[in-house]
Chain A
């Protein structure tokens, strides 16, 4: 039994079971049980497609693209839930097209396509991960059998729960907006496709939001002409540094993510109710009480989501520097003005996708270099410093390197592009055996870092 494969399979099965349970309960609560059929059809199609795609090489859809599709589907579901909430509050967002949603055939098509879109990227991502895992473990059958066992265990768990408890009352906690938000939360909390390294989408979402918060704050400093030079940080920077710190951007990012769930809470507890049409005041009060009770009931899953998000957010630890992979630099020396670093030796492999650091001592001073393989299989060679911040270097977290000074995440695939907080690129020649960098190139660019000239270079 391969434990990681089992857990990954169980997670996927749990997602299917949970979505089925909530959807079925919701439809049952609205007297439309028969609309679950397109969901079954969608799941069956996904299962067939997944079985067919096991034989595909994993490169046909890159992991990066699958991850992006999952993140995009989370974003679309989250935004859609916002639109649906406005629609449910009485804003006729679709104008004369509003009637379409009442048509059952349209709903069936939406459920079928929605099921395909919701689960296809997750299942493909899981398959690609399992293929990689089976190669690492050198156990193709064992990996897939373990994963299938996990999947079946989760589905059996839901069937048993359903059979014993018949929890159809769950449906009364959901309306369309809550249902969409629930689907977004399933993606957020279970959309990771990197095994134990990233079971949920939270780290990726954190990076995205934190980058947005950081970029926005930086842009504000540029617009308001607040200097961010290393030299002047002795005075103003002590204040500014707070805004660039990881804690601030993590909290701001969390608040941005919670805006929509908070709108749901506001809608449930504080939005005025429509005046009930009843002559008897007592009957009127009864209707209002029923409506309020229903609204508050529907706020319960949102409160659970908020608690789960906050818990997951802080348990993931944000972009804490301590979580970064920050290897100790290996010393290198120049021979006739050239640094030669082997692509592969018994102690390291530059093509393994991890961050590699090297240090060069020149005139008693340590200069650090970083090397990493990019997703396009080219090698990127940079200084372990950027054009803006103090040269404290970078650490790696997943498919990003993170500036240790200002916590900006840099996608590995943009390494080698100059500017901003990206590491300063170095011109290097790479063949199958060695990465060769001219000492002059390193010294020239390092001099810029030390003297602050690189900052002018970005102008």
Chain B
């Protein structure tokens, strides 16, 4: 045998040995536990390290390589003991290794971007050449809800919001909160959601600025603010109840999402110039602010990640392997009991 071949064979023998696997797994556990004791945020550093630190990446790849070689070695031995044992054991062990591989691939290669979009906007992550046009935002909100219902956990949604995007070449797609939709090589899902009242800022009859203003005022109780460039005003906005009434002796507010009411405060520095509902027009100094029919905005997370499917496959394999191991032990007994019988 040539020296190079002998070295490679020796290396493979070492990497596929149980001893090396125990040392490398034990080494990882020791490293993690000791760093967790002193650094506290050890997991965050570990995750960052897998993404960026070449030494940690090398050690993790070494662990993966060692794990797969051990898997092959043990599978060969196990084949002699029967196919059922082999299948359940390989499913379980390979599941764990595949999961670890996905974890590594995902952390080392993931790209992501958060994109704020409303109807008519174009969604295009920086790595993608595919343009998706937002054709519809289905807010999924209840037409009206009570604040007591929100506190009781009933929420403000009738169903989860859905974003419809389309592309001239590939057709249209629905994007929800979960699971993410895969379009091309990118996953999309809704990360956040809000209302964007149409606003009209005027001086007398002269409209100075108009458009939709994305605000984070949902669920009711939240408030947000915005400014109009070139003017010294700050507008603080919150949702206002459509009506209030007594229910079992408790005051309850009802919010209408078809025609929402707002409470807007206009600030100039510390001074409040005006306060009221801009649906009726809000006048201050020489200007007025009016809110018209709202639209909804969605914050989409776009993710390019080759590891996601590997992670899912790993989880499925592990679960299946675990189940088949349980079934095997239940129906055929453990190795120990079998060996004892023999």
Contacts and interface: CB of A to CB of B under 8 A. Distances in A.
A225 B110 CA distance: 12
Contact of B40 (A82, A226, A232, A414): A414
Contact of B192 (A211, A226, A272, A452): A452
A272 B44 CA distance: 41
Contacts of A452: 192, 216, 222
A47 B73 CA distance: 52
10 contacts: A95-B19, A223-B308, A225-B187, A227-B190, A227-B301, A231-B193, A270-B334, A270-B335, A450-B223, A451-B222
Between B41, B189, B335, the greatest number of chain A beta carbons within 10 A of the residue's beta carbon is seen for B41
B280 interface: no
Interface in B303-319: 303, 305, 307-308, 311-312
A451 B37 CA distance: 35
Contact of A75 (B22, B33, B223, B224): B33
A422 B318 CA distance: 33
A236 B178 contact: yes
Interface residues of A, number: 47
Contact of B37 (A75, A224, A271): A75
Nearest to B216: A451
B37 A71 contact: yes
B198 interface: no
Given A212-B36, A215-B43, 11 more contacts: A72-B37, A83-B22, A92-B19, A208-B33, A211-B40, A225-B179, A232-B193, A447-B225, A452-B192, A452-B216, A459-B114
Contacts of B219: 231
Contacts of B103: 223
B156 interface: yes
A56 interface: no
- Interface pairs A-B: 8 shortest CB-CB: A234-B155, A451-B216, A215-B43, A270-B336, A75-B33, A411-B40, A225-B180, A451-B224
A229 B192 contact: yes
Interface string B164-197: 0000000000000111100000010111110000
A91 B335 CA distance: 19
Interface residues of B, number: 58
Contacts of A234: 153-157
B62 interface: no
Interface of A: 68, 71-72, 75-76, 79, 82-83, 86, 91-93, 95, 208, 211-212, 215-216, 219, 223-227, 229, 231-232, 234-236, 238, 269-272, 411, 413-414, 420, 447, 450-453, 455-456, 459
B48 to A, nearest CB: 11
Contacts of B44: 215, 420
B203 interface: no
Contact of B41 (A76, A82, A229, A414): A414
Contact of A79 (B29, B40, B42, B155): B29
Nearest to B25: A82
A347 to B, nearest CB: 31
A256 B308 CA distance: 25
A232 B159 CA distance: 10
A309 to B, nearest CB: 17
Contact of A91 (B19, B41, B114, B218): B19
A427 to B, nearest CB: 20
Contacts of A68: 37-38
Contact of B301 (A225, A411, A450): A225
Contacts of B312: 224
Contacts of A83: 22, 26
B308 A224 contact: yes
A271 B37 CA distance: 34
Contacts of A459: 114
B284 interface: no
B84 interface: no
B36 A208 contact: yes
A95 B213 CA distance: 70
